[in-house]
Structure 1
Amino acid sequence: MAQSYKTIIASACFLAMSGCTIIPGGHFEGLQQGEQTENLEKELEKVNIQLIDSALISLHKKNLQNTDLQRKMPKAGLDVSSYEYKLGVGDVLTIGVWDHPELTIPAAVQRSAEFDGFKVQPDGTITFAYAPKVPALGMTVSQVREELVKRLSRVIEDPQIDVKVVSFISQKVYVTGEVKQPGVFPVTETPLTLIDAITQAGGLNERADWKTVTFTRGNDTEVIRLDDFYSKGDISQNRLLQHGDVVHVSRNDQRNVYVLGDVKRAGTVEINRYGLNLAEALSEVGGIDERSADANGIFVLRKRDLERDGVIADVYQLHAKNIASLVLAEQFELGPQDIVYVTSAPLARWNKVISLLLPALTSVDRLQDIDNQ
């Protein structure tokens, strides 16, 4: 019986790749018995088949709970209490000296502070009255103020100086991909975090992958679990951004489930941020075709890493003729790229497609690699 189940998986993979509907009992050209088919059948022993029952559901829930517990372990959050903006070339400052209006831009002058301010020059300095070539590049506002006080103290007794950045030009971060307003955002005296940057970009759009985003700094790229931040409050997922950082939000293309076989409307079903169970996936395609479908032949194909796990795929079977199976289907959570396949009776009609399993799985990998390029 297990070998018959494996032939169903071959059909599922073939349908997923071809996008065609195979009529039960149809004839397939080019499939011949012999050494090649026997070798492929031996490879099918690497398919792991399990029945969807209460024990399996309990095991999956336990594994999920263990994963959640690991993620809920206390983690260091983002500390921005000591953050200070470092000046860069192009930044513009305003400088005011108390009780010395001759050194301050008159308030009545109708020009912007950026126009009359003091720009950090390409050599990294600013020039103020009685204080030429004050180092500013890489300095904080407080450090520039201290240097100005030191310089002006030579000509003014106990100078009280106010320094502010009025135009942040030198440092930028980039938010790209599936956000409502992708663009370039300045780094300012207010700490800019990854979550802040996504918010400034208008938040995620309807096509975004809400699970993860990629964070790139220089040559290093990190996957940030965005959903852990929003749904579990894991503040360790946040990052303090600096000049040149890139936050990229990918499309949700890889978070689909494929529902094929004897259903009313075969196609893809999207996994939303709240998840997707087997019952919901079947409902989305109109349910199984009761005239021809085998209610005991509902399978879920979940690809595995053969080199890492020694298994081509996990295959889960649901006996849907039992009314209790509806509860099991509702509790069985699907994952990205799962294939749900509903067979037609009798199972024996699918034996000729057994050799399609391995080439189909390889082709799925190739297509995903192309999509990721």
Structure 2
Amino acid sequence: MIKTSVKTIRLLGMTAAASLLTGCILVPGSNIDPGALGATSNDTSWFESTGGAGTWFPGLRREPEETPEQQQQTEQIVQQTVDVVTITSQLVAEQQRAAQMNQAVPAAMPASLVQELASYEYHVDKGDMLIITVYDHPELTNPSGSNNNNPENSGITVENDGTIYYPYIGKVQVAGLTVDEIREAIAGPLAQFITDPQVSVRVQRFSAKRIYVTGQVTRPGQQSITNIPLTVLDAIAAAGGLAPDANWHEVMLSRNGTETILSVYEMLNNGRLGQNMLLQHGDVLHVPVAGQQQVFVLGELNRVNTLPMGNIRMSLTEALTRSGGLNQVTSNAEGIFVIRPNAPDAPKLATIFQLDVKNAIAFAVGAQFMLQPSDIVYVTTAPVTRWNRVISQIVPSLNALITANQLNTL
């Protein structure tokens, strides 16, 4: 999954929201006489006429009707800046399939992960403590230098060079070996001094390898990698579970300079265990806060809203319902739009999805179209051709903010 700049998305969302708010919050859907407000052709406002009255959009340039050439120019600006996509059942199905493919979350644990867990073996490294037992030879079970009074420290520590010292055979290279390989490495040379030595090796203390769990968990901190395989869900459980304000959908795994976004929600609620990865030494698992996840709902609705998303994703129809539904007097059934800022390196600033609810069945499609954090839902009174003019006026602000954000990250 491509990691987008949270700062850019929030800035874009706030700017587009502010631009649109100027067209609906001050007098949303008001049917008024423009002359009563002293409107002139020089006012930086836009009045949408409807039979002598209409809707006032302060803050957007009030311009005369566009000529065909101007309409074509506006259309070109929109096409170069954003993608406008109609929300259909086919689109919803395609997005659902794409999301599953991009996130690599099959509905069951993949065979490769099952095999990886089944064949997992811990490889000893420097700092680990070993207990080596030679049956019928107690003098070799607790060689000189081990702590007989403290069982936890009763053993042989692997030195920084990856070796241990063992009686009769001297230094033994053990770093990178499994306990079975270490047993063979000791039993072979020891057979020169003891007949058929029966050797057992186990790790008394795992100190060499660890992972880190940070962010919104009950007990953040480091965890040791042991002889029991440690997966993403195991590590979160060992950290006391997710905190109440944790973002279940965007848990970040950092490994060797690469960041992967994982969805704990999908794993726990939908059984998609393909993301329950086996953790490795040095991995950092970060659980972000969910508080910054929100959707802006603006325009010709009964209630303008900023909706927190939480960990259960919200559909377009749900967002409209939670905002009191469409204003039946002023809203345009063709003009339900979702503005979704693109990643900073995308060729266009945003993707705008359009839902036409002249047919009530379209609300069922909207119920399957899932919103993402920082989406802007906007319902307009304007016809689609006028909507192109709104987009063209928002574009300069979006361009400026993207440029400013890129400069800040240099």
Work out whether the TM-score is over 0.5. Answer: yes
The 3 A distance-change label for structure 1 pair 69 and 45 is: closer
Shift of 1:126: 1.6
Cα RMSD for the two superposed structures: 4.4
* Residue number in structure 2 paired with 1:3: none
| Contact 2:44 2:62 survives alignment (8 Å) | no
- Kindly indicate whether residue 149 of structure 2 is the aligned counterpart of residue 111 of structure 1: yes
Q: How does 1:116-265 map to 2 (within 5 A)?
A: 116-224=154-262, 226=264, 229-230=267-268, 233-252=271-290, 255-265=293-303
Shift of 1:135: 1.8
The 3 A distance-change label for structure 1 pair 167 and 229 is: same
* Identical-pair percentage: 33
Q: What is the identity, as a one-letter code, of the residue corresponding to 1:28? A: T
| Contact 1:28 1:352 survives alignment (8 Å) | no
Structure 2 CA distance for aligned equivalents of residues 120 and 185 of structure 1: 19
| Contact 1:86 1:137 survives alignment (8 Å) | yes
Structure 1 CA distance for aligned equivalents of residues 88 and 20 of structure 2: 32
Shift of 1:145: 1.8
Structure 1 CA distance for aligned equivalents of residues 162 and 219 of structure 2: 33
| Contact 1:213 1:249 survives alignment (8 Å) | yes
Superimposed CA distance per residue, residues 240-275 of structure 1 (whole angstroms, 9 cap, x where no aligned partner): 222112223334467532111344543322345543
| 1:15 aligned residue (3, 17, 40) | 17
* Residue number in structure 1 paired with 2:396: 359
| Contact 1:94 1:165 survives alignment (8 Å) | yes
Structure 2 CA distance for aligned equivalents of residues 43 and 69 of structure 1: 33
| Contact 1:96 1:103 survives alignment (8 Å) | yes
Shift of 1:120: 0.8
- Kindly indicate whether residue 123 of structure 2 is the aligned counterpart of residue 86 of structure 1: yes
* Residue number in structure 2 paired with 1:59: 90
Structure 1 CA distance for aligned equivalents of residues 403 and 265 of structure 2: 28
The 3 A distance-change label for structure 1 pair 105 and 274 is: same
| 2:376 aligned residue (322, 332, 339) | 339
Q: Note the residue ranges of structure 1 that are not aligned, 5 or more in a row.
A: 1-11
| 2:77 aligned residue (36, 39, 43) | 43
Q: What is the identity, as a one-letter code, of the residue corresponding to 1:334? A: L
TM-score by length of 1: 0.74
TM-score by length of 2: 0.68
- Kindly indicate whether residue 306 of structure 2 is the aligned counterpart of residue 294 of structure 1: no
Shift of 1:316: 1.3
Structure 2 CA distance for aligned equivalents of residues 159 and 283 of structure 1: 76
* Residue number in structure 1 paired with 2:134: 97
| Contact 1:298 1:340 survives alignment (8 Å) | no
Q: Note the residue ranges of structure 2 that are not aligned, 5 or more in a row.
A: 1-13, 29-33, 38-42, 46-58
Structure 2 CA distance for aligned equivalents of residues 308 and 345 of structure 1: 28
Structure 1 CA distance for aligned equivalents of residues 335 and 347 of structure 2: 25
